[in-house]
Amino acid sequence: MAVTFPDLPYAQDALAPAISAETLSYHHGKHHKAYVTKTNDAIKGTDLENKSLVEIVRAAKAKGDQGLFNNSAQSWNHTFLWNSYSPNGGGEPTGKLKELVDSAFGSLDDFKSKFKEKATGNFASGWTWLCLSGNSVEILNTDDADTPLVHDGKKALLTLDVWEHAYYLDKQNDRGAYVDDFLNKLINWDFAAQNLDKDEENLV
């Protein structure tokens, strides 16, 4: 089965003005689509052709196939990203997730401060994640296409893409403003909370 290129879970203009329809048209419609196309081209006729995307990502990492890993991991990371954004985002976590965030960071404001510090300090292209690690949560930076899927004991709860193509049309080089909009207007705490009890095959 081919890897599916997913629709956005909201209208293309639903995140504006924080993230414009133009940015999503390029980021989702060009970048993400290209990763999916290249992944499908690479697995065609191989033993990975009928595997799930998570299995493909992990197999590519294990085999040292950097090209396939980059494209398959970016396919998964971006699908996860669209769900980490919400037109009705912001606010604060509730229930078990709130307890975990408060325990790990002290307060929501402290979490935001630490997340912004990590995201703005994530050099060049990469991702900043909130992950479940054992009985706690932590903020994890990864480079390029790297993903928690290949880090033992780290389960992604939500993510922010800090590659420049995620924000440059809207914010130019002001990554901090993009991170602020994510934390205050777009962050999808409901998605993160749902992921606490899911296995990694079913996060997206």
Tens digits of residue pLDDT in 9-18: 999 999 999 9
- 37-56: b or e for each residue (b if 16 or more CB lie within 10 Å)? ebbbebbeeeebeebebbeb
Give yes or no for a contact between 157 and 196, defined as CB atoms under 8 angstroms apart: yes
Is pLDDT at 146 greater than 70 in this prediction? yes
Chain centroid, CA 161 distance in Å: 6
> Closest Cα partner for 139 from 151, 150, 130, 152?
130
How is domain 21-84 classified at the CATH fold level? Helix Hairpins (1.10.287)
d(CA 80, CA 65): 22
CATH for 95-198? 3.55.40.20
The CA–CA distances, whole Å, from 25 to 20, 129, 146, 198 equal 9, 23, 23, 30
- Quote the mean pLDDT of the chain: 96
Q: pTM value? A: 0.96
Is pLDDT at 1 greater than 80 in this prediction? no
Is pLDDT at 134 greater than 70 in this prediction? yes
d(CA 94, CA 99): 8
Spell out the domain ranges in the chain: 21-84, 95-198
Tokens describing residue 171: 């914010």
